[in-house]
Amino acid sequence: MHTPLTPPVFHILLALADEERHGYGIMQDVAWQTNDALQLGPGTLYGCLKRMLAAGLVEESAERPDPKMDDGRRRYYRMTTLGRRVVRAEAERLAGAVTAARARRLLAGGKA
Amino acid sequence: MVERFSRIYRALLYTYPRQFRLEFGGEMEQLFRDRCKDVARTNDRMMMLNFIVNSVLDWIKTSVRERAVAAPRGFVNEWIVTILLYLFASTTLVQAYVIPTGSMESNLKVGDHMLVDRTTYAKPGPLGRYVMPYEDVKHGDIVAFLYPKDTHQTFVKRVIGLPGDRIGMVDKQVIRNGSALIEPYTQHIDPEIDPSRDDFPELTVPQDKLFVLGDNRDNSLDSRYWGFVPRENVVGKPLFVYWSYDAPTSDLEHWNVAHLVDVMEHFFTKTRWDRTFLVPR
């Protein structure tokens, strides 16, 4: 997988940055991160996860029930070291782009 | 409702390549169900509509992508398979209907365009019974069926009598198996009693037949006039109204240029927005 990452991949990695989550957990976190702008459908989420698993950015963790949900076992996903490096590189690239946009006064909060 | 949507989604999963479906299908269905429950809990119609549209777009986009990825060679073949699957899905699982008459008025209005779930009442085949849980028609269900006198027309009515039931009517009051039926969903627009319409002696519903009535009881051509509906004429269960447009019966029965122009001119004003995503009960 190459940078720039697609928005779903980037946000999925962000969702897994500090804890492992199951599919619905990822979906909810991505919605929260993006203020509901990005609602991952099942096909998009698992299509991305399939490619991310193949690229070694994420791995499957143990299958277990979620205490917050009232049903059976769920498969959890966790970010690998490679995944962490990739998401950091992408975040730095975006931060650089934001700084450049600020300098051109396209964004609030730049130097006057 | 969550169950019905989940069942349709499960069937749609068959449009994904086999390998992908085996690996992630269960999780995808679970995710869909979770989201569906959350959305249903909000009771927010716009959110439900948004969810449906998003789910359909997600399904189309990703099932095509996964198929293209799964078979980089034989691309044309893959497309043929995909298109056939979509045609199958769109005619076998759900179908769009429009309500052309006011016989169910109070619940369904003339010009309600709705999706009908064709899986629920379908007689299970030797294979189907393992894939789709089959549900039998119950008292009070709204069903879509082929009009027995002219099977080119689809009618939507409410099931009043099942095989073996004794049904009669005395002054607009339905008597089922000897007791008066309480029907909060009906509407009466004519205070007069018309014996040819509002009274009939008790009769017994034969095997594999249904007795149906419209909710707009005083203005409905139903089993009182043309008899029972054979069970195999039932095509499905109305799911929800996706578009409600104020138009006369004749335009809805036979599409014409004038109607098309009318829709283009008055789409925003004549669409009954508050009926979008209404679930008939």
SS (H, E, C) chain B: CHHHHHHHHHHHHHHCCHHHHHHHHHHHHHHHHHHHHHHHHHCCHHHHHHHHHHHHHHHHHHHHHHHHHHCCCCHHHHHHHHHHHHHHHHHHCEEEEECCCHHHCCCCCCCEEEEEECCCCCCCCCCHHHHCCCCCCCCCCEEEEECCCCCCCEEEEEEEECCCCEEEEECCEEEECCEECCCCCCECCCCCCCHHHHCEEEEECCCCEEEEECCEHHHCCCHHHHCCEEHHHEEEEEEEEEEEECCCHHHHHCCCHHHHHHHHHHHHHHECHHHCCCCCC
Instruction: Answer whether residue B100 is part of any domain.
Output: no
Average pLDDT value for residue range A74-91? 94
Mean pLDDT, chain A, as a whole number? 89
Domains and CATH numbers, chain A: 7-83 (1.10.10.10)
Final residue before a domain boundary, out of B43, B65, B92:
B92
pLDDT band at residue B271 under the 50/70/90 scheme:
confident
pLDDT band at residue B78 under the 50/70/90 scheme:
low
pLDDT, residue A90, reads 93
Phi, psi of B97 (to 5 degrees): -135, 155
Beta bridge partners of B188: none
Distance CA B120, CA A102 (A): 57
Distance, first Cα to last Cα, chain A: 38
Q: Contacts of residue B63 in chain A, CB cutoff 8 Å? A: 43
Q: Scanning every residue of chain A, which has its alpha carbon at the shortest distance from the alpha carbon of B32? A: A42
For the sheet with B112-117, list strands across it. Answer: B94-98, B112-117, B234-244, B142-146, B154-161, B209-213, B229-230
- Does residue B137 share a domain with residue B13? no
pLDDT, residue A66, reads 81
Instruction: Answer whether residue B118 is part of any domain.
Output: no
Q: Which of A30, A39, A68 has the most B C-beta neighbours within 10 Å, making it the best mutation to test the interface with B?
A: A39
pLDDT, residue B240, reads 83
Which helix (H) or strand (E) element contains residue A79? Answer: strand A73-79
- Does residue B134 share a domain with residue B37? no
Among the partner residues A24, A43, A50, nearest to B34 by beta-carbon distance: A24
Instruction: Answer whether residue B99 is part of any domain.
Output: no
Distance, first Cα to last Cα, chain B: 11
Q: Do A41 and B59 touch (CB under 8 A)?
A: yes
pLDDT, residue A112, reads 45
pLDDT band at residue B71 under the 50/70/90 scheme:
low
pLDDT band at residue B173 under the 50/70/90 scheme:
very high
The alpha carbon of residue A32 is apart from the nearest alpha carbon of chain B, in Å, by 14
Q: Look up the domain containing B55 and give its range.
A: 2-92
- Does residue B166 share a domain with residue B31? no
pLDDT band at residue A97 under the 50/70/90 scheme:
very high
pLDDT, residue A51, reads 93
Phi, psi of A6 (to 5 degrees): -70, 155
Q: Among B55, B63, B157, B223, which one carries the catalytic annotation?
A: B157
Task: Look up residue B249 and give its two tokens.
Answer: 């019966």
B157 labelled catalytic = yes
Final residue before a domain boundary, out of B92, B121, B156:
B92
A30 close to A12: Cβ distance less than 8 angstroms: yes
pLDDT band at residue B250 under the 50/70/90 scheme:
confident
Is residue B203 over pLDDT 80? Answer: yes
Q: Which of A21, A22, A26, A46 has the most B C-beta neighbours within 10 Å, making it the best mutation to test the interface with B?
A: A46
Average pLDDT value for residue range B117-146? 75
Note the ipTM here.
Answer: 0.85
- Does residue B156 share a domain with residue B32? no
Q: Scanning every residue of chain A, which has its alpha carbon at the shortest distance from the alpha carbon of B34? A: A24
- Does residue B195 share a domain with residue B72? no
Burial of B62 (0-12, 13-18, 19+ CB in 10 A): buried
B179 labelled catalytic = no
Final residue before a domain boundary, out of B64, B92, B120:
B92
- Specify the number of domains making up chain B: 2
